[in-house]
Structure formats: structure tokens, C-alpha cells
Amino acid sequence: MRRIRDFLLCVALVMSAAPLAAQADLNAGLRVARITTEPAEIAFEAGSAASVAIVALDADGNVVDASLRIRGSRGLSHSDGILSAATGGDYRLIISVVLPADATAAPASLSVPVHVSWPAVATVEVGTASDKRLYAGTTIRFEAAAFLSSGNSRPEAHFDWSSSDESVATVDLWAAVTAHAAGSVTISAEFEGVLGTVEIDVRDLTASRLEIRGGSDQIRQGDVLTLEAVAMDGGEAIRDIPVTWSVFFEPDDTINAPGAAGIVEDGKFVGEVPGQYTVLATAGDLVARRKFDVRARGVVQDIELVGRGSVSDQRTSDLWIYEGMDGRDYALTGTWSASGWAFFWDVTNPGAIVKMDSIQVDARTVNDVKVAPNARYAALSREGTSTRRNGPVLVDLSDPKNPVIASYIDDPHITGGVHNMFATNDYLFALANGDKYVIFDVTDLSNPKFVSEYNHPNSRVHDVWVHDGIAYSSEWGTGVVVVDVGNGKWGGSIENPTFVTNVPYPVGRTHAAFPYYSASADKFYLFLGDEIMGRGDQAWRGTGLNRVPPQGGTPVAFSGYIHVIDFTDPMNPKDVARYEVSEFGTHNSWVEDDILYQAYYDGGVRMVDVSGELMGNLATQGREIAVFKPFDPNGWAANVSVVWGAQQHKGNVFFTDLASGLWSVKLLPTQRPIS
């Protein structure tokens, strides 16, 4: 115990190799026989912290001043001997010794159980998001939320619901309150002995008929109709009556029609396959019906291969297509776990792609490449450098045919690898160790300057995209974090990034976000992509479980899909649609002119019509325009599709495939039906 008390832990939290390891005596790690902690098992409350002392010992029990790699399982943070977690649950603190690169023995390691309990609930609040009121015979779904004394909400709270007078209204297990007669009633929700209540006055339903208004009689697959149910009491419309919506379907083809073919929610209706749909609105004993004829969307187009920029001796990562300052068109591609190469291509003739130049930097992986909108400079990300100083590299593109390294961003705010970036004309946003993003002024390419940074608490970041002065960072289990970095509406600036809101998503694998204003829908959408390695307990999980096939290896296995969030009101984001293709998994997205260009890894590159309002699963609505799967028998892995990212440029679709390099394809023009 004395050795533990006397030993001062001095390590940095890292996800790969410790940043200080290059300066430490890594040979000391070879003497470590075991690692201990005090306490051996750790428990604390969510929102608070716990201290832990970590000691490396040799075979004789002597303390060894070795470099350690320390990380918590997802959701558990460690910094200088302090553990913290925002949510309750069971975690692991994982510790291992950092050894020299030529070490052959396995490093000593330790996995410590950590239990984080929830604090006691202080209050429960009950309410409803509906703007309607209860009339006898109608139903409204209520909601409840439990809050801690800190004011934070308690996730995963399951409530017991009850009614003070079931002759007036009853409530089911799912918080749906159904009124039976006029009168007053109290609806209660209880969690962990804490009760929340709401008082309701039920009115008699005096309306004599119900009408469905709005919408066209004939629409296309995927078109969203906005309907209104209006209750009529004589000649007076009563608009605050809650309505229950439903739909039934008469398919054109009873053999091939899918089971779930239409969706109606809060008056929004979409038909997924051709046929006749009857939409019903009910309120008490009142029923209204409307029939709609849904026709094929008719957006499928042929696609042709235009050109190749083959890379078969190493794996290709991201791309960026741009018009250079000389008016010609270029592509920049990175490499994954391949000795730090980035390639510059002339793609002015997409059918004759030419590798124009290459730059090698000190890195294992150039995961991300970006080019400023004015094509003045490019940025190359770096991971796995020999010195573990992983700042991005700025490349001067003033002579597009002769890209030249302008500077290395060697800044103390960049710790660990830079996985992704975003480039504006004057600023570069660079991720640091998956923990935060750092903003640099790159007006002078030879002398980039630190401006500011944003680090969302208790969160890991994977990507950042900036649109109209707002940064959208994809932060795995946290979802998308939205920050004002110059828009100003929320008081933020490039020097003072200001938190706006968080868009959580229960899948917990938010990998990338693409913001897009849809003029055809007059809505602002966020397209959020999952990245999930493997396929869990799915029957179609297959055999390949590696993220990237080894050279000559077998296909890989991914899952995950695109979530579409209506972000028109940033303070009230709504999950409205998805694009999900079973048996494959998504990577990077690009949306332009109402077409989603989706890199779907083993599902190829997929082009999807996202015009108009979006609702339901776009993959089942005839919205897919074309799919192209790149198969190269001479690729890094033969005949394997691992599409990384896609971008539309001047009528051509360019994309990179991890196993085979740069590709160019083109949609062939077709006559689309007029809606």
C-alpha cells in the first residue's frame, strides 16, 4: 500500500500509443510483470468521479516507472487518475504497458471492473407533446421524464402509469390515455418511488362528422402527403380533437406486394409501393376515409463505368474532387495503413484518369483528405507517425499540377491521431485523438495558427462537417453535436465555439453527418450514417469480420444505415426517415441536387432520390436511382466492394474503393415522369 501511495501516476489518456512514449524509456516496460490498482474494484455515482492509483510492478513487487496505455470502455473517461462517467452501467478500465516496437513478448495488462450507479431520482414530470385536448372516446399518448437533483434527466426510466378515476379515463402500459366520459382525472407516472402527475379535464364529444382534407388523389411512391382531420359540429370546425390515423393497402400485385407498404403518422402519409391506399381517421365513434392511388416513382437510371484510377498495391481511403485554380479538374485520395501516401489525379477527362503526382508523409494512414472551396490548399490527415506527432499536413495548390507541402501543423493542442478534418478557405478543423476538434487559421499556409477548439464532455468524436458557420460533429453514442462556429445566431464565433444542441441517436454509432437544405421540401435535413463492424446476431452476418480484408483476403462484414433528421427547427429535431439496405453497412455520404450519393461499403455506391419531404425507408419507396459495385480481380482484395466515399462533380460520380482505388461512373440521362 505504501508503494501505491508513493507512486504518482503520470500517463496521458490515449487510444493508440501514448504520446509521451517516444520520450520515455520503453525498455522499462519489459520488466513489468503485473499491474495493480487501488481499489481493485471501482464504484461511483454517475456524474461524480472516483480516484484510482495504478502501479506497474516487476516480478519482485518493485514499482516500475513504465509508460502505460489507459482507456475506459465506451462511456468511461480517465484522466490523471480520475475516472468519470455520465451514465450508469458496468464498464471496464483497461490498462496495458507500452513496449518497444521490436518487443516480442505480450505486454502486461489489466482489466478492472467499474460499476457506475445512478443517483436517486428527485422529480418526475408528466405531459404530452400533443396540441390537442381529450374528448370522450379519444386517445392521447403522454410522456414522463425523471430528473436527478442535478437537473439532468435519468435515461432508461420505466414508469408505472395509473389513473385516479378509470370511469373518466384509463392509461395503458405505454402511456396512452383514453377518455371515456366528461370529467376531471389525474394521470400519474411513478419511477423508483417518485410520483409525477398531470390533471386532465375531459369534454364530451359533440361533433357529428369527421373529414380528411388535403392531398392529391394520385401520387408517386415516396411522396409525402400532409392531411388534416377536421371534426364538424354542425357548421363549426373543431380542430383540437385528437385523431387516430391508420391505413390499409390494396396492392397492384398481390403476390409481390410487401407486408408494410404504407405509413401514416400525425396526418403525414407515404405509400411505399404502387397500389391503392385507404387512409382512416378516427375520433371516438367518428370515422373518415380517403383513398389514394400510388404510382411507381420511375427514377431508375442506367449507370456506366467511365474511368479508373487503379490502386492495387495498397488500400485507398477518402477522396476529394475539385476544380483547380487553372480550371482543370483534380482528385485527391488518401491511403489506409499504407506508409502515408496521398495521390493527386487529373480527372478533367473522367474517362482517362491520370495519376499526376504523389506526396508521402510520415504516417501509417492518411485517412482523410480535404481541399478548400477555393482550391488554394489541401489538407492531409495523419495517424500513426513515427514520432507520434500527428498534426495534419497543409499542401499548397497554387500550382495545381505541382502540389507542394507548405507546412506541418505541429501544435500541442493536437494530441493523438487526426482521423478527419474539414477545410474552409481560411480555417481548418482537425480532430485530435478522437476527443475534440481543433480550429486553425490557415490564411498563411506556411504559418498556421491555433484559433480555438471544442471538446464535448464525455464524448468521442469521429467526424466534423461545417455548414453556414455551424459545425456538425459526429460523436458515436452521443449522436451529432451542433456548435455555432461563426454563424452567430447562438452567440458563437470561430474564436468562441458555442454549443447549440445535441441530436442523440439510440443506435449509438453516429459516424458521419451531412447537412443539406432541400429546396424541394423547404426543409433542412441531416443525413447521419452509422458505422458498425460486423453484423451481430443477424442471420446474414456472413463469415468476414475484419474491417478491411488482408491482401488477397475474403469479403468484409458491415451493418448500419442512414438516419434522416428534420433539422429545420434546430431546437426540435425530428427523426423522420432512413435509408437502409439489409446485408450492407454505410460509410460516407454526399448530397447534391436532391440526390444522395451513398458509399455503402460492401453494398457499393448507391444513388438515391431524396427530393421532396422524406418519411419512412427510402430504400423501399422506389427512390433508388442506381447502384454500382466495383469489382476488380486485380485489386488489393480481388472482387471485393468496399466503397469509402463518393462525390458528384460536373455530371460524373467519383468514388474510392478501399480495395481498388479511384473510380468514375456516370448516370445515363433518362426521361423522368412529370409529377
Residue 419 CB partners (closer than 8 Å, separation 6+): 367, 368, 381, 383, 431, 434, 462, 463
The pLDDT score that the predictor gives to residue 519 is 98
Other Cβ atoms less than 10 A from the Cβ of 117: the count is 12
Task: List 265's β-bridge partners, or say none.
Answer: 268
DSSP string, 501-547: EEE--TT--EEEEEEEEETTTTEEEEEEEE-EES-TT-TT--S---S
**Is residue 632 within 8 Å of 639, Cβ to Cβ?**
yes
Work out the pLDDT band at 2, boundaries 50, 70, 90: very low
Say whether pLDDT at 4 is over 80. no
Work out the pLDDT band at 673, boundaries 50, 70, 90: low
Please write the tens of the pLDDT for every residue from 166-194. Answer: 999 999 999 999 999 999 999 999 999 99
Residue, of 509 and 64, whose pLDDT is higher: 64
Buried b / exposed e across 268-302, counting CB within 10 Å, b at 16+? bbbbbbbbebebbbbbbebebebebebbebebbee
Please write the tens of the pLDDT for every residue from 459-505. Answer: 899 999 999 999 999 998 899 999 999 999 999 999 999 999 999 88
Q: How far apart are CA 470 and CA 348, in angstroms?
A: 32
Q: What are phi and psi of 586, to 5 degrees?
A: -85, 160
The pLDDT score that the predictor gives to residue 253 is 76
Nearest alpha-carbon partner for 414 in 450, 380, 360, 446? 450
**Is residue 261 within 8 Å of 249, Cβ to Cβ?**
yes
- Which whole number is the average pLDDT over 133-150? 95
Nearest alpha-carbon partner for 527 in 619, 635, 439, 610? 610
Q: Cα–chain-centroid distance for residue 46?
A: 25
Please write the tens of the pLDDT for every residue from 510-534. Answer: 899 999 999 999 999 999 998 877 6
**Is residue 285 within 8 Å of 137, Cβ to Cβ?**
yes
Long-range contacts of 128-132 (CB under 8 A, 24+ apart): 130/242, 131/240, 132/240, 132/241, 132/242, 132/243
Cis peptide before 392 (omega within 30 of 0): no
Q: For 209-295, CATH number? A: 2.60.40.10
> What three-state secondary structure class fits 134?
coil
Q: Whole-angstrom distance between the N-terminal and C-terminal Cα of the chain? A: 77
Q: Is the dihedral of CA 408, 413, 419, 421 positive or negative?
A: negative
Task: List 280's β-bridge partners, or say none.
Answer: 246, 289
Residue, of 20 and 94, whose pLDDT is higher: 94
Residue 175 CB partners (closer than 8 Å, separation 6+): 141, 142, 143, 144, 159, 161, 189
Grid cell 452521443 in the structure block, residue: 478
Please write the tens of the pLDDT for every residue from 258-298. Answer: 665 788 888 999 999 899 999 999 999 999 999 999 999 99
DSSP 8-class letter at 27: G
Lowest mean pLDDT among 119-128, 332-341, 580-589: 580-589
Work out the pLDDT band at 42, boundaries 50, 70, 90: very high
Residue, of 640 and 308, whose pLDDT is higher: 308
- Which whole number is the average pLDDT over 367-394? 94
C-alpha cell at 35: 499491474
Q: How far apart are CA 423 and CA 429, in angstroms?
A: 6
Please write the tens of the pLDDT for every residue from 477-489. Answer: 899 999 999 999 9
Please write the tens of the pLDDT for every residue from 562-607. Answer: 999 999 999 999 999 999 998 888 999 999 999 999 999 989 999 9
Residues of the chain within CATH 2.130.10.10 domain(s) are 303-667
Q: How far apart are CA 633 and CA 630, in angstroms?
A: 10
Q: How far apart are CA 353 and CA 428, in angstroms?
A: 28
**Is residue 15 within 8 Å of 71, Cβ to Cβ?**
yes
Percent of the chain with pLDDT over 70: 91
Q: Cα–chain-centroid distance for residue 179?
A: 40
The fold of the 303-667 domain, in CATH, is Methylamine Dehydrogenase; Chain H (2.130.10)
Say whether pLDDT at 542 is over 80. no
Average pLDDT score, the chain? 90
Residues of the chain within CATH 2.60.40.10 domain(s) are 209-295
C-alpha neighbours within 13 Å on the C-beta side of residue 204? 3
**Is residue 65 within 8 Å of 98, Cβ to Cβ?**
no
Say whether pLDDT at 320 is over 60. yes
Please write the tens of the pLDDT for every residue from 7-40. Answer: 323 333 333 333 434 434 678 989 999 999 999 9
Q: How far apart are CA 484 and CA 472, in angstroms?
A: 9
**Is residue 650 within 8 Å of 329, Cβ to Cβ?**
yes
Grid cell 495519376 in the structure block, residue: 355
Pick the CATH number of 121-202 from 3.50.50.60, 1.10.510.10, 2.60.40.1080, 3.40.1130.10: 2.60.40.1080
Q: How far apart are CA 72 and CA 420, in angstroms?
A: 22
Residue 291 CB partners (closer than 8 Å, separation 6+): 217, 276, 277, 278, 279
Work out the pLDDT band at 84, boundaries 50, 70, 90: very high
Residues of the chain within CATH 2.60.40.1080 domain(s) are 2-117, 121-202
Q: How far apart are CA 473 and CA 431, in angstroms?
A: 10
Q: How far apart are CA 549 and CA 543, in angstroms?
A: 12
Q: For 2-117, CATH number? A: 2.60.40.1080
The pLDDT score that the predictor gives to residue 477 is 87
Residue, of 399 and 151, whose pLDDT is higher: 399
The pLDDT score that the predictor gives to residue 260 is 59
Q: How far apart are CA 290 and CA 214, in angstroms?
A: 10
pTM over 0.75: yes
- ∠ CA 144-150-155 to the nearest 5 degrees? 40
The burial of 373, by beta-carbon neighbours within 10 Å (0-12 exposed, 13-18 middle, 19 or more buried), is given as exposed
